[in-house]
């Protein structure tokens, strides 16, 4: 029996899209999700129904799609995960944004929390070091 809390990578993508659209537009419709993800409305409808079964979204037929508190929390974690991976690939591996986006999409569904945490800590160290560089230069007399 499937755990009601477990969602597939595909449903993660739908949830993340709903979250980003809701932040941008305030309300989200099926057509908005389908357009953003380049998928059909029937596929979107099935995915939203599955997310509703898992209590991640609320959706009344022909009405807007709303994230539940749990849905918002889950989506925020997914966005953090994607952004962390993308930033790591760009800052630490010097990949282009397009390449980092594509790679982050592939990695985000399988990375463990330990690895993600280590990536986040390395990014923090790199960013702190970059912030210290101007202070070092101002101390140097040319």
| Residue 4 within a domain | no
| Residue 89 within a domain | yes
Q: How far is CA 75 from CA 58, 85, 138, in A?
A: 14, 15, 42
pTM of this structure: 0.82
pLDDT in tens, 54-77: 999 999 888 999 999 999 999 999
Please choose, from the candidates 3, 6, 31, the residue with its C-alpha nearest in 3D space to the C-alpha of residue 17: 31
Picking from 18, 40, 67, the residue at the C-terminal end of a domain is 67
| Residue 3 within a domain | no
Picking from 50, 67, 84, the residue at the C-terminal end of a domain is 67
What is the reported pLDDT for 142? 47
Domain that residue 118 falls in: 76-139
d(CA 25, CA 22): 5
pLDDT in tens, 87-127: 999 999 999 999 999 999 999 999 999 999 999 999 999 88
Higher pLDDT residue, 71 or 130?
Answer: 71
């Amino acid at each position: 029996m499937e755990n009601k809390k477990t969602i597939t990578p595909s449903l993660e993508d739908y949830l993340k899209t709903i979250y980003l659209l809701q932040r941008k537009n305030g309300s989200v419709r099926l057509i908005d999700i389908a357009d953003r993800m380049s998928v059909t409305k029937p596929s979107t409808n099935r995915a939203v129904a599955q997310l509703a079964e898992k209590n991640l979204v609320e959706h009344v037929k022909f009405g807007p799609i709303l994230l539940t508190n749990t849905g918002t929390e889950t989506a925020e974690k997914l966005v953090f995960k994607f952004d962390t991976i993308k930033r790591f690939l760009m800052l630490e591996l010097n990949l282009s944004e397009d390449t980092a986006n594509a790679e982050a999409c592939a990695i985000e569904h399988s990375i463990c929390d330990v690895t993600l945490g280590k990536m986040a800590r390395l990014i923090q160290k790199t960013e702190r070091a970059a912030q210290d560089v101007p202070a070092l230069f101002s101390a140097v007399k040319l």
